[in-house]
């Protein structure tokens, strides 16, 4: 996983499919929790084609991190198959999505 610290308040994580996805999400959460100030996160899902229940659980923990630290978590560029998982589970109403990374980044920059 590549984590790009766009600024001290915005990080971008470019994610890929398993087997790396679970480990990358864990590393991202651990790293974000130790950062000061706590960053808002953009998860670039454009290269992810599958999610499992572990991945969804990890993303929910990242969301809790964001809520607890007055930060934001934005999921950018989900493929149709990944979007279908969020729709099926009802998590499309829980997470914040953007169509692509650039849109997500612009939205966070405006608010910061």
Whole-prediction pTM value? 0.94
What secondary structure does DSSP assign to 11-35, as a single string? EEEE---TTHHHHHHHHHHHHHHTS
For the cut 90, the answer to whether the pLDDT of residue 8 exceeds it is: no
Of the candidates 5, 83, 90, which has an alpha carbon nearest to the alpha carbon of residue 51? 83
- Residues 28-63 have pLDDT tens digits of 999 999 998 889 999 999 999 999 999 999 999 999
**Hey, how many other C-beta atoms are within 10 angstroms of the C-beta on 21?**
21
User: Could you give the domains of the chain?
Assistant: 2-106 (3.30.750.24)
Judge whether 70 and 43 are in contact, CB under 8 Å: no
pLDDT score, position 1: 62
């Amino acid at each position: 996983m590549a984590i790009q610290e766009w600024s001290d308040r915005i990080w971008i994580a470019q994610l890929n499919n398993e087997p790396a996805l679970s480990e990358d999400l864990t590393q991202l959460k651990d790293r974000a929790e130790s950062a000061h100030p706590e960053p808002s996160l953009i998860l670039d899902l454009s290269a992810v084609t599958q999610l499992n229940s572990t991945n969804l659980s990890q993303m929910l923990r990242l969301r809790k991190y964001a809520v607890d630290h007055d930060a934001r978590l934005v999921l950018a560029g989900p493929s149709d198959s990944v979007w279908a998982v969020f729709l099926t589970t009802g998590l499309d109403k829980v997470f914040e999505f953007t169509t692509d990374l650039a849109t997500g980044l612009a939205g966070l920059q405006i608010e910061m």
